[in-house]
Amino acid sequence: MRLYIVRHGETDWNRARRVQGRMDIPLNDYGRHLAEETAEGMKGLCIDIGYTSPLLRARETAQIILGDRKAPLYDDERIIELCFGSYEGLCCSGEEREPGSEEFNRFFTDTEHYIPPADAETIRQLYDRTGDFLKEMCVREELQDKNILVSTHGAAMAALLNRVKGNLSVADFWRDEVPPNCAVTEVEIQDKKPEIIREGIIYYKEKVRKWKAV
């Protein structure tokens, strides 16, 4: 089995450095462009099945990449983005940063001491549900000869890849930084064991925009 795990394209909230989480923000035109460039780069790949977060930005990214393929696309709540609760909508970097953003930015700069709001999800909970998804991929016999697209989000993708690498530390959650929009990582599963083959593949020509919590 080969998984092609991709983070969704850009949204207006990505551009404005607003915390999205479970907010259902669609791709902007630039985000669709990134997804189209990624689709062009992946056009020669056989993809049998797609799994996507139910949020619009991930689903539309998956649909653009799949294109005319007849592959079915399934929603899966386990790969939805981390819920940030009352932090969602917060502008948390740049000149427009809002009160409360320092507390939120620990999620990127000091993850071990990040304290989610009472109405939010913990990083450990994120590890558990994304881990359940990955485990299912590893053990489902009918999927073992398939190539599968997985369209998800920055934190959810980081959790999936950390697990493949054997890193379930909260303190080291961002050891490999935030995956860029439309970055693709290939994971091969053999004998129920996942292994990263290629990580952080970028198919578009534009300069990669990295998150900066300042």
- Token pair belonging to 9: 């394209």
The amino acid sitting at 125 is Q
Question: Would you state the pLDDT for residue 213?
Answer: 56
Is 210 within a domain? no
Question: Would you state the pLDDT for residue 97?
Answer: 81
Question: Would you state the pLDDT for residue 212?
Answer: 64
Q: What is the largest CA-CA distance in the chain?
A: 51
113: annotated active-site residue: no
Q: Whole-angstrom Cα distance, residue 104 to residue 71?
A: 38
Q: Is the pTM of this model over 0.75?
A: yes
81: annotated active-site residue: yes
Question: Nearest-CA neighbor of 47 among 141, 186, 199?
Answer: 186
Q: Work out the pLDDT band at 100, boundaries 50, 70, 90.
A: confident
- Is residue 104 pLDDT above 60, yes or no? yes
User: Which residues make Cβ contacts (< 8 Å) with residue 145, sequence separation at least 6?
Assistant: 1
- Is residue 98 pLDDT above 90, yes or no? no
Catalytic, out of 8, 10, 37, 88: 8
Total domains in the chain come to: 1
Catalytic, out of 60, 81, 88, 121: 81
Mean pLDDT of 59-86: 98
CATH value at residue 157: 3.40.50.1240
- Is residue 211 pLDDT above 70, yes or no? no
Is 208 within a domain? no
Is 54 within a domain? yes
Q: Domain limits at 32?
A: 2-201
> Whole-number mean pLDDT of the chain?
95
Q: Whole-angstrom Cα distance, residue 54 to residue 23?
A: 11
Mean pLDDT of 111-133: 97
Is 160 within a domain? yes
Mean pLDDT of 108-120: 95
The pLDDT > 90 percentage for the chain reads 90
Is 28 within a domain? yes
Is 109 within a domain? yes
Is 213 within a domain? no
SS (H, E, C) the chain: CEEEEEECCCEHHHHCCECCCCCCCCECHHHHHHHHHHHHHCCCCCCCEEEECCCHHHHHHHHHHHCCCCCCEEECHHHCCCCCHHHCCCECCCCCCCCCHHHHHHHHHCHHHCCCCCCCCCHHHHHHHHHHHHHHHHHCHHHCCCEEEEEECHHHHHHHHHHHCCCCCCCCCCCCCCCCCCCEEEEEEECCEEEEEEEEECCCCCCCCCCCCC
Specify which residues 152 forms β-bridges with: 7
Is 211 within a domain? no
- Is residue 46 pLDDT above 80, yes or no? yes
